[in-house]
Amino acid sequence: MEHRVNIHRATQVSRALKLVPVPLMTLMGSTHTNGLLKPSGTILEQIEVQQFELGDEIFKVETGTNTIEQSELYIVCRGAVRLLCTEPDRNRKLTVDLLEIGASFGLDQWFYSERLAYEAIAATPCQVARIPEQTLCALFQQFPQLKNQIAQQVEQRERLIFFRSLAHFYSVSSRQLKYLFLPQLIEQKISAGTGLNQFTAEHLGQFWLRSGEIVSEKEIAPMPGESWGYFGRSPTDWIAATDLVLYYMPLEQLEATNLLGFL
């Protein structure tokens, strides 16, 4: 039995040494895999490469949960992985993104305390590197820029999920959101106790509540995913009951995206 385990482990290490360096460097925005830019053998030995067939579930995040799997990073080494979220009104699956070699998923809780639910399935037969948290810390020491790259991918993913599900952008393709809409989006943080009337008046455009709680004595205040501003309702006596995170699209950028019809 021990002999079989050793053979299996040796196969995993060999696969990681062969498959992981190029996708990892792609994730960091580099095509060089020689010399100092290559992860150490010790690090690569701790990375497990898993193989999946079309339709296999690879990873799943439930809103606000904190499981062991969510403390791991996954990098696509071969094939493609599809990220899905759920349309709340109809309980159907929506494509968030299609990930290819060098793209990552997982590790959402490192950057977002109120992360959104999604799942990753194999869009083709694929191989995915699973990197545990302890190994990630070693990687970040060797490649400080890696954490920034992962943070950017997590941020983009959270925004895609938000607009595809909570903000009801059901008819907009994930590609339109990713390449036309999100690059123009601005994140605004509002302190608890701030009145939103004047703040909205000073920023012409559209707002979406990403997280936090708004209160109002005169009307029902917006919930996460709802919007206001240039289109739709406007604040009256709205107050930030907690710290808020808003997404803001200035009017000129909103018009340029050609997505006005979806608001």
DSSP 202-258: TS-EEEEEEES-EE-SSSPPPPTT-EEESSS---SS-EESS-EEEEEEEHHHHHHTT
Out of 178, 204, 224, pick the residue that ends a domain: 178
The residue ranking higher by pLDDT, 38 or 244, is 244
Question: Do 162 and 40 fall into the same domain?
Answer: yes
Out of 178, 212, 233, pick the residue that ends a domain: 178
Query: What's the whole-number mean pLDDT along residues 236-253?
Result: 92
Question: Do 110 and 193 fall into the same domain?
Answer: no
Question: Do 251 and 198 fall into the same domain?
Answer: yes
Question: Do 145 and 198 fall into the same domain?
Answer: no
Residues 46-86 have pLDDT tens digits of 888 899 999 999 999 887 544 444 678 999 999 999 999 99
pLDDT higher than 50, residue 136:
yes
Question: Do 136 and 243 fall into the same domain?
Answer: no
Question: Do 196 and 216 fall into the same domain?
Answer: yes
Query: What's the whole-number mean pLDDT along residues 18-38?
Result: 58
* Mean pLDDT of all residues belonging to the chain: 82
Question: Do 7 and 109 fall into the same domain?
Answer: yes
Structure tokens of 135?
């190994």
Q: Model-level pTM?
A: 0.83
pLDDT higher than 60, residue 1:
no
Question: Do 67 and 95 fall into the same domain?
Answer: yes
Number of helices and strands in the chain (H, E): 8, 14
Question: Do 34 and 145 fall into the same domain?
Answer: yes
Question: Do 20 and 109 fall into the same domain?
Answer: yes
Q: Which of 101-110, 119-128, 148-157, 164-173 shows the highest mean pLDDT?
A: 119-128
Question: Do 43 and 166 fall into the same domain?
Answer: yes
Domain count, the chain: 2
How would residue 29 be classed by pLDDT, with cut points 50, 70 and 90? Answer: low
199: closest CA among 232, 258, 160, 240?
240
Looking up residue 244, the CATH number of its domain turns out to be 2.60.120.10
Question: Do 244 and 170 fall into the same domain?
Answer: no
Out of 178, 201, 234, pick the residue that ends a domain: 178
Give the domain range for residue 150.
2-178
Q: In angstroms, rounded to a whole number, what is the distance separating the alpha carbons of residues 226 and 88? A: 13
